[in-house]
Amino acid sequence: MNKETHEILNEFHWLMAALQNIDVGLVILNTNFEIELWNGFMQNHSARMPDEVLGKSVFELFPELPESWFRRKADTVFVLKNSAFTTWEQRPYLFRFNNYRPITSMADFMYQNSTIIPLTNVRGEVEHICLIVYDVTEVAVNRLQLQEVNTQLQQLSRTDGLTGLLNRASWEAELVHEYQRYQRHQHLCSMLMFDIDHFKRVNDNYGHPTGDEVIRQTAACLKENIREIDIAGRYGGEEFAVILPDTHAEGALVVAERLRKKIDTLSVHYDGLYVEYSISLGIAELNPTMNEPTAWIECADKALYQAKHNGRNNSVIYTEK
């Protein structure tokens, strides 16, 4: 062997060592998607040695890799001689590699990004593609956790802690939204407002924790008796408000009466004591004379006031006098 050949071989040797040991996955595929190179990273994570995979179709060996999806990506590489990319957001992984660190691992499997690059032969044609697989588990898990926390925070900032209903601010935002929708489409829509009769007495006679329990159970009863599309909020201390889309006043009255009767038979048990109570309800159907959202609330409030005036534990539909 002459000196020059020896040097080339030597260079080739350390180049291969670098490819073998680099901490990303390297896979070279031919036009039939048969594996022609499988570096150390891939060997270690897949527990398959080169003699098990070389010359075999990547789709047969790894059924988790969707063939049509991957071919579509690879096609652009072959035809355009252009890199293609996959991200964990599109597809969490190409090869399912299980978590290997029992203590610090954050996910069950390795999230992967990948780049597919064209490899040209001496004539400038692409006969092979190189798939580079990156382990992005930490980035992915952190991002997912952040998203989850943000969703939770958003949820927390929208709801009332005691009842789980919308808090006043977010209920009012929904109200404005519904009002704007009405202006555009003039669909039917009603509002139901109610409060607990003589709530102050409950607090005074049984204590605030019992009062809280009464509010909580009222909210629970409310949730059970409205539809998914209805928008319920805790408007004030013992005051509740519900928007009932696509519902006329009479329909809302049915809901109101059902709720009123349920509450009337309800007995809240707390701290060894039983509390029985009632609610009064006001209903207002949205109409074109209400020129802003607050006017709608005022009407429902007036009806509620009328219900109180009528002796409580009843429902009243707002009418213009």
Q: How far is the CB of 127 from other proteins (least distance, A)?
A: 17
The single residue listed with the structure tokens 């319920």 is: 232
Can you spell out the DSSP letters for 96-136? --B---TTT--SSB--EEEEEEEEE-TTS-EEEEEEEEEE-
Residues that bind other proteins (CB under 8 A): 68, 72-73, 75-76, 79-85, 87, 89-90, 113, 115
Cβ closest to other proteins, residue 24 vs residue 295: 24
**Residue with Cβ nearer other proteins (73 or 312):** 73
Residue 63 Cβ vs other proteins, minimum distance, rounded to whole Å: 18
State the minimum distance, in angstroms, from the CB of residue 90 to other proteins: 4
Is 287 buried (19+), middle (13-18) or exposed (0-12) by CB count in 10 A? middle
**Nearest distance from C-beta of residue 73 to other proteins, angstroms:** 7
Q: Torsion angle, CA of 100/101/106/107, rounded to 10 degrees?
A: 20
Beta pairing partners, 231: 243
Integer CA distances (angstroms), 225 to 71, 160, 164, in order:
52, 19, 15
Q: Cβ neighbours of residue 297 under 8 Å, at least 6 residues apart?
A: 175, 191, 193, 241
Looking at beta carbons only, is 88 or 277 nearer to other proteins?
88
* C-alpha Rg value of the chain to the nearest Å: 33
Given the complex with other proteins, which of 138 and 246 has the nearer CB atom?
138
Residue 231, H or E segment: strand 231-234
CB of 131 vs other proteins, minimal distance in Å: 14
**Pick 81 or 158: Cβ nearer other proteins:** 81
